[in-house]
Amino acid sequence: MMGLNFRLAEHGTTARTELLAGATTFLTMSYIVFVNPDILSSTGMDRGATFVATCLAAALGSLLMGLIANYPVGLAPGMGLNAFFAFTVVGGMGYRWPEALGLVFVSGCLFLLLTLTGARRWLIEGIPPSLRCAIAAGIGLFLAIIGLQKAGLVVADPHTLVTLGNLHRPEPLLALGGFVLIAILEARKVRGSILLGILAVTAAGLLLGKLHFNGLVALPPSLSPTFLKLDIPGALHAHGEGSAIAGLLHVVLVFVLVEVFDATGTLMGVAQRAGLLSNEAQRLRFNRALFADSTAILAGSLIGTSSTTAYVESAAGVQAGGRTGLTALTVAALFLAALLFSPLAALVPAYATAPALIYVAGLMLREVVEVRWDDLTESVPAAVCVLAMPFTYSIANGLALGFVSYALLKLGSGRWRDVHAASWVIAALFVLRYALT
């Protein structure tokens, strides 16, 4: 039956291979069940509910990807998108978390519309490659500074703004040890290295008496604190007439841009590696994959989490032989099984998830090598975008400064014809956003 539904023979795979590939993908991305609740709970959201929402959103998104597109890709709340939700939209712009969920829903509707109309491809084609790389690297630096703060490795200083934390305390040392462990395990190609690093730091905290063990397995916490708690009207009128329009424009634009680049780029990369883009029929399946990940964003906002996206860690499952949606369904089943480990998720401290943030940040920074550094009209906007995200503590500001400076440099150098219409539109929208505030 599995062979008929997922066309296993046609893809040159077996049920056993697909199940092992799904388990591999799950191990490489399962760290999100610890990291996402830690980030979202900083907004005042119930930690237990965000744990359940993370697992359910990942399970539902992966299920949709497997059934609709028959793709071996796992979905879960995205790194970077959750940081933007918590630290910029709620922490920086003053939205309450139900309003932020409402904005995720609005962005999801727009994202789905862009996908159904084909405008999503137009938008992707219109963004210069240098800025695409800069966005990924800038989000990486933003995650890095969040991770360093959570670890206590970087602290505030009245004279220099930031400085090195107290290395005589155990928390920063444990975080450093966790980061080194993750890197070593990755170098040795150990599956689930990030998850193992988080668990190792948590175990060390237990041994040092910094944490209190309250069990490993239990029934999942209640989802009711976040389920259907999104507040769309409140998001649209939260800060007065003019600033509400500007805030909506700013937040939704950033959500959509990051979702477009992250999800589309990941899906294309994983599909290419799996050999799923070689003919017209397979390219039509790619369109269904775009629809599946767009729909998952809406579902996630209703459950109570930030935007879901396709995970690049799915490439590990493809490497293990995954070629069909049965891999994604295996990922979904394992995320549902993870619901039983809520006491473990509640036990994991911030300094245990910090190494994961720092390590993922390092992986994202490698994108800067793709920037055309020999062309100032490409490299300067990319550098501005990358630097502005951590130093203004805002992904949105980095995107805005990157696109606006790109348009201005191309215009000033007489190369305005090189700028795609999509880039002009995005730059103009960001200028409008700041003009209205």
pLDDT in tens, the chain (437 residues): 444 477 777 777 888 888 888 888 888 788 889 889 988 999 999 989 999 999 999 999 999 999 988 888 889 998 778 888 898 888 887 889 998 898 889 888 888 888 888 777 777 777 788 888 888 788 788 888 888 988 999 998 888 888 998 999 999 999 999 999 999 998 998 877 888 888 899 999 999 988 888 778 888 899 999 998 888 887 777 554 445 566 667 677 777 777 776 676 677 667 766 676 666 666 667 778 888 888 888 888 899 998 888 887 787 777 777 888 899 999 999 999 999 988 887 888 889 888 888 888 888 788 888 888 999 999 999 999 999 988 988 777 888 899 999 999 999 999 988 888 888 988 888 887 777 65
Q: By C-alpha distance, which of 383, 361, 386, 364 is closest to 372?
A: 383
Q: Is residue 226 part of a domain?
A: no
SS3 427: helix
Q: Is residue 365 part of a domain?
A: yes
**Polymer length of the chain:** 437
pLDDT, residue 240, reads 43
pLDDT, residue 46, reads 92
pLDDT, residue 337, reads 92
Q: H-helix or E-strand containing 184?
A: helix 170-187
Other beta carbons within 10 angstroms of residue 160's beta carbon come to: 7
Contact 426, 253 (CB under 8 A): yes
Q: Is residue 210 part of a domain?
A: yes
Query: What distance, in Å, lies between the first and last C-alpha atoms of the chain?
Result: 58
Amino acid at 44: G
Torsion 195-198-204-206 (CA) sign: negative
**Cα–Cα dist 106/66, whole Å:** 25
Pairing relationship of beta strands 154-157 and 75-77 according to DSSP bridges = unpaired
Q: Is residue 230 part of a domain?
A: no
Q: Is residue 206 part of a domain?
A: yes
Amino acid at 198: I
pLDDT, residue 146, reads 85
Backbone dihedral angles phi then psi of residue 364, each to the nearest 5 degrees: -75, -25
CB-side neighbour CA atoms (13 Å) of 38:
25
Angle at which helices 421-435 and 241-273 cross, to 10°: 150
Q: Is residue 353 part of a domain?
A: yes
Contact 259, 302 (CB under 8 A): no
269-297 in b/e form (b: 16+ CB < 10 A) is: ebbeebebeeeeeeeebbeebbbbbbbbb
The CA distances from residue 155 to 173, 284, 395, in Å, are 14, 50, 20
Other beta carbons within 10 angstroms of residue 68's beta carbon come to: 17
Contact 353, 82 (CB under 8 A): no
Q: What angle do CA 82, 261, 365 make, to 5 degrees?
A: 75
Q: By C-alpha distance, which of 79, 68, 71 is closest to 21?
A: 71
Q: Is residue 224 part of a domain?
A: no
Strand partners for 76: 309
Which residues, other chains included, contact 106 with Cβ-Cβ below 8 Å and sequence gap of 6+? 232, 235, 248, 252
pLDDT, residue 114, reads 82
Contact 426, 257 (CB under 8 A): yes
**Cα–Cα dist 409/406, whole Å:** 5
Burial of 118 (0-12, 13-18, 19+ CB in 10 A): exposed
Question: How many structural domains is the chain composed of?
Answer: 1
**Cα–Cα dist 60/54, whole Å:** 10
Amino acid at 425: V
Q: By C-alpha distance, which of 123, 86, 122 is closest to 104?
A: 86
> Residue 119 sits in which domain range?
2-216+235-435
Q: Is residue 387 part of a domain?
A: yes
Joined together, the tokens standing for residue 426 give: 């995005």
